Amino acid sequence: MGERGQVLDRVMSETGTTQTLLSRWSGVHQPSISQFLTGRTELSDEMLERLLDCMGYRLEVIRRPVEPVLTRSEQRSWRLHRQLSTHLTQRSLKEWRPQIEERLSQLRSRVTGQPHTRNIERWGRLLDSGDVSGLRRVLTGLDRDSIEMREVSPMGGLLSQDERQQVLADH
């Protein structure tokens, strides 16, 4: 059972609410409630709040910054790509496009295995669509997906050597 399912289960127990009664109050089918409780179906914050409301509870989500644990290589890559994002615009993307496409071609010819080949294709789709905000999310993201995308980044060589050295020295 996921964390949200545990919260739902605890409140149902505290309030003596059965799945059938909660289904009647909320309009959510009882089998769906059962699946939320067992973890077979993902329970969103919105749905959890809807179900808790029916039992006289509110959902409080506490958000706090958490520094991720990155390897030295992941940290360096993130810092360099983050710096590159400061230059990223539609115009710079257009100027960089030949170099990025050449790098993508090189990566396609020598990289094998997942998730790398899939991520190379994702870079290509982001480039083809001109998705500056999507590119910026990958350049600066600290989620596992962005980290893995940067492992096969076609953005090498776009920062000047001086700027690259400055970014790495600032650590």
For Cα atoms 29, 30, 32, give the angle at the middle one, nearest 5 degrees.
70
DSSP label at residue 76? H
Residue 141's pLDDT is 95
Residues 127-163 pLDDT 10s: 999 999 999 999 999 999 999 999 999 999 999 999 9
Domain architecture of the chain: domains with CATH: 3-54 (1.10.260), 72-169 (no CATH)
Q: Which of 30-34, 64-68, 114-118, 138-142 has the lowest mean pLDDT?
A: 64-68
- Nearest-CA neighbor of 128 among 154, 159, 158, 146? 154
- Nearest-CA neighbor of 132 among 106, 79, 95? 95
Please report, to the nearest 10 degrees, the dihedral formed by the alpha carbons of residues 11, 17, 18, 20 taken in order. -110
Query: Distances from the Cα of 121 to the Cαs of 5, 33, 116, in angstroms?
Result: 36, 38, 9
